[in-house]
């Protein structure tokens, strides 16, 4: 795209065919994960494992895991989604997590609100006790199939933890995350020069420095992801409307 013209010209290569569009504003709503090259965690000994190692992004469609013992490395969104489904047919599913995480086992909003209010009050007046209370409460609720700790290495028959315990398994599912690719696979250029995203500043997580009349969609890392999208959409549309109202471009 040219940076000085009032109506920028955008060229898109789609299926080996170049198409040209005229636009005053563009919004990048492409995916934000790199699904072709997922993140590969460095797990010692993984190459020695005698069973099958699967990354969920490349799950074999015809793979029969019924009656097999599965060890799932990771406890994020992918693991949380897969675990209940795998548990229906697998002989056993163990979740191996480095950092403890939790999901509430109930959905009553009123009960959650009351518990939170009581806990905040407790922490305020008895600041030395909350950690011990939380630890004891959590340990009592943890099922045996959740293994928390650091992996020492993968052996031929399973996963050995740093504390010496073993997780015997036939299959390892590496739910270790995906790499970010905010613009999808779009090679964005301004005046013929490629945009190096890592060298640019972001404005309100919605627009990029030195990339004119362009917005992008991104979520909140510490809140509801879709709220970040709402924010980006409002900023992009408000910016375009403001420029138009002032008689400037876009």
Q: Which domain holds residue 123?
A: 46-174
Q: Does position 109 have pLDDT exceeding 70, yes or no?
A: no
Share of the chain above pLDDT 70, in %: 86
The pLDDT assigned to 39 comes to 80
Query: How many Å apart are CA 165 and CA 142, to the nearest integer?
Result: 17
Residues 170 and 190 in one domain: no
Query: How many Å apart are CA 126 and CA 140, to the nearest integer?
Result: 22
Strands annotated E in 29-149: 33-34, 52-54, 69-73, 92-97, 146-148
Last residue of a domain, one of 126, 143, 174: 174
Angle, alpha carbons 6-8-14 (nearest 5°)? 170
Q: Does position 30 have pLDDT exceeding 90, yes or no?
A: no
Burial 161-193 (b: 16+ CB within 10 A, else e): beeeeebebbbbbbbbebeebbbeeeebebeee
Computed over every residue of the chain, the mean pLDDT equals 81
Which of the pair, 156 or 111, is modelled with greater confidence? 156
Q: Is 67 left (phi over 0), alpha (psi -120 to 50) or beta?
A: left
Is 250 within the bounds of a domain? no
The pLDDT assigned to 108 comes to 59
Confidence of residue 229 (pLDDT cuts 50, 70, 90): confident
- Number of neighbours of residue 244 by Cβ within 10 angstroms: 13
Which of the pair, 223 or 44, is modelled with greater confidence? 44
Confidence of residue 187 (pLDDT cuts 50, 70, 90): confident
The mean per-residue pLDDT over the stretch 17-24 comes to: 74
The pLDDT assigned to 170 comes to 94
Is 169 within the bounds of a domain? yes
Residues 189 and 150 in one domain: no
Residues 86 and 140 in one domain: yes
Residues 152 and 211 in one domain: no
The pLDDT assigned to 1 comes to 52
Which of these ranges, 36-40, 104-108, 137-141, 158-162, has the smallest mean pLDDT?
104-108
The mean per-residue pLDDT over the stretch 16-43 comes to: 78
Q: Does position 167 have pLDDT exceeding 60, yes or no?
A: yes
Residues 60 and 105 in one domain: yes
* Residue (of 163, 116, 165, 126) closest to 145 by Cα position: 165
The mean per-residue pLDDT over the stretch 195-204 comes to: 83
Q: Does position 119 have pLDDT exceeding 70, yes or no?
A: yes
The pLDDT assigned to 9 comes to 58
Q: Does position 7 have pLDDT exceeding 60, yes or no?
A: no
The pLDDT assigned to 163 comes to 92
Q: Residue 101: exposed, middle, or buried by beta-carbon count in 10 A (0-12, 13-18, 19+)? A: middle
Residues 73 and 125 in one domain: yes
The mean per-residue pLDDT over the stretch 185-206 comes to: 81
Last residue of a domain, one of 114, 146, 174: 174
The pLDDT assigned to 89 comes to 92
Last residue of a domain, one of 154, 174, 194: 174
Residues 148 and 223 in one domain: no
Taking the model in full, what pTM does it have?
0.62
Residues 188 and 83 in one domain: no
Structural domains of the chain, count: 2
């Amino acid at each position: 795209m040219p940076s000085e013209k009032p109506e920028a010209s955008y060229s898109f290569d789609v299926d080996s065919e170049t198409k040209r569009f005229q636009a005053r504003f563009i919004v990048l709503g492409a995916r934000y994960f790199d699904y072709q090259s997922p993140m590969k965690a460095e797990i010692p000994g993984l190459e020695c494992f005698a069973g099958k190692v699967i990354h969920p992004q490349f799950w074999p469609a015809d793979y029969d895991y019924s009656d097999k013992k599965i060890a799932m490395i990771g406890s994020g969104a992918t693991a949380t989604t897969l675990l209940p489904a795998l548990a229906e047919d697998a002989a056993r599913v163990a979740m191996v997590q480095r950092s403890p995480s939790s999901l509430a086992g109930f959905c009553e909003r009123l009960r959650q609100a009351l518990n939170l209010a009581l806990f905040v009050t407790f922490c305020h007046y008895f600041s030395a006790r909350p950690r011990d209370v939380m630890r004891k409460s959590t340990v009592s609720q943890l099922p045996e199939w959740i293994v928390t700790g650091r992996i020492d290495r993968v052996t031929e028959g399973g996963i050995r933890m740093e504390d010496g315990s073993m997780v015997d398994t036939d299959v390892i599912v590496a739910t270790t995350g995906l790499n970010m690719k905010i613009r999808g696979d779009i090679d964005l250029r301004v005046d013929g020069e490629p945009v190096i995203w890592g060298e640019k500043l972001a404005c309100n997580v919605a627009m990029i420095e030195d990339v004119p009349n362009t917005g992008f969609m991104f979520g909140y890392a510490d809140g509801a992801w879709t709220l970040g999208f709402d924010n980006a959409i409002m900023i992009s549309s408000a910016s375009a409307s403001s420029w138009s109202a002032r008689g400037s471009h876009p």
